[in-house]
Structure 1
Amino acid sequence: MNELSMSESSAAMPPEVNAGMNNLKRLARRKTVLIGFAVFFAIVLASICAPLLTSYSPYKLSIVNRLQPPGAHLFGTDGFGRDVFARTIYAGRLSLLVGISVVIASSLMGVTLGLLAGFFKRLDGLLSRFVDAMMSFPDILLAVAVVAALGPSVWAVIIALGIVYAPRMARIVRASTLVISELPYVEAARALGVPTHTIMMRHILRNLISPILVQATFIFASAMLAETGLSFLGLGVDPSIPTWGTMLSEGRQYIGSADWLTLFPGITLVLAVLSLQLIGDGFRDLMDPRLKKDM
């Protein structure tokens, strides 16, 4: 009776809902994806609930307690007596903010460039050469140049990394748009006189959600790594604000005598990036017809 009611309820669902439920079930079968979601959710939750997890301030100096090993302070203290655990979980807020902001900025720029290049053949050559020129620069060098021009700040880092990773999104969107724009239903919409913007938004962009989502997870991870690198070089946000990059930079002078200063923020960064990579791999395999049958 239960199986019959479940089958009837699933039959009553729209095809899109059934497809979404099936995709979630396939993802749930992959242990690596579940581990990725669990680790990333734990990091996000710890960063959001940081005031509830520690009573120490990430900014309070205590020279008397400087360089204490893990014990009374869970992750020990740094060279200024600040609690490393508090600084690590508070630093996650900035990295997550930069990551999601860069994903939004790069997606807006990349999707726009990719759609225009893939749909309008006259613009394809010009926009493709522009994207290729941007990708010819190493990511970190281009980011350093933009941050140096705008001045060190959170928004400068977001703008710089958004510009750096937009070409990656643009190339994915362009390649998919070139294929979709030649499909029969798009040609039929053109023949019926459907406005161009309607075709681009309703018939093409809606079918690009999957590759955009997959690429967004990889950009998220890359943006967190790049923000850490910029902060490590002193080109990120204000050094007084805790970030994993500034913590690694400050702790490198104590390597060998106070390894916990670089160990814990480094491990947290690795777990965050690795979890996003596992999630992205799961989405990629789910959306790829050649790999979908193996899930």
Structure 2
Amino acid sequence: MKAVFTLTPAESRRLIAKAVAQLEEVQDALKEAYVVINGGTTNGYVAQELAGKTEIRPERFTAGTNSHRLMCVTEASRRDPLPVILEKGKVSDKTTPQVLNEHFHPKTVLIKGANAVDAYGNVGVAIGGFDGGTMGATAGIAISQGLKFVVPVGLEKMVPSVEEAAEAVGAKTFDYTMGADFGMWIIPNAIVITELEAFDILADVDAIHVASGGVGESAGAVVLAVTGEDEDVKKAISLVESIKGEPALPGFKGDCENCRYACKFAGTKKQDLPDWLKD
């Protein structure tokens, strides 16, 4: 049996989050170790699915964000507390350094968002500042000790080559930036979950990315064809029908007037911003 679906970015995020919750490595960590859910809009959905925290708003579960037609940084007052850490399935007040050092467990899983994915399974995350953000704080011990990064990322973020993308950026290499300046970290030890892996995990069907793009509510949408046994495809259909209509996320950007990034609009008062950049 064969079926075809169009998923908006919000619908894809919900689908991927459901798959991450069922991933074997995540299930093992929920039973025996820690799950560290770092920032990112898709990770906000993951936190809802794993922790049952329905009060989490994915648009606030982020620091860096692509919003208001720019790469930007969410104003601190509009962010939810990050990360969410689960200890044997329960919300914990431990910090990431405590989890990775004092309470290290080899089955701990780090869930990290991404800004780029390619057809070879490479993923990259945009980073600003001098400390490398979440990756700078966790990559060393994760790589040396063999921890896994689970990376939920939608196919709307597909690029030809993550390696080439990382080589092309770097905050201090730009002479002009419309939006926050940034570099890119290629995430190591990554278990990448796109819509394709999600359909495999949740419905045991093969999915192929066949088209992208749209207008209005379908802006950023992806079109996926799935094949499999009749019962499995029917399961995929039921799954998609259950997430259809997932509302689009609003975008929360930074305060341009007090922005520290090398953006064209940094230091601009709100009344002087173009209409498309105003809150």
Range class of TM-score, shorter chain: under 0.3
Normalising to structure 1: TM-score of the pair?
0.22
Instruction: Return the structure number with greater helix share.
Output: 1
Structure ID, larger Rg: 1
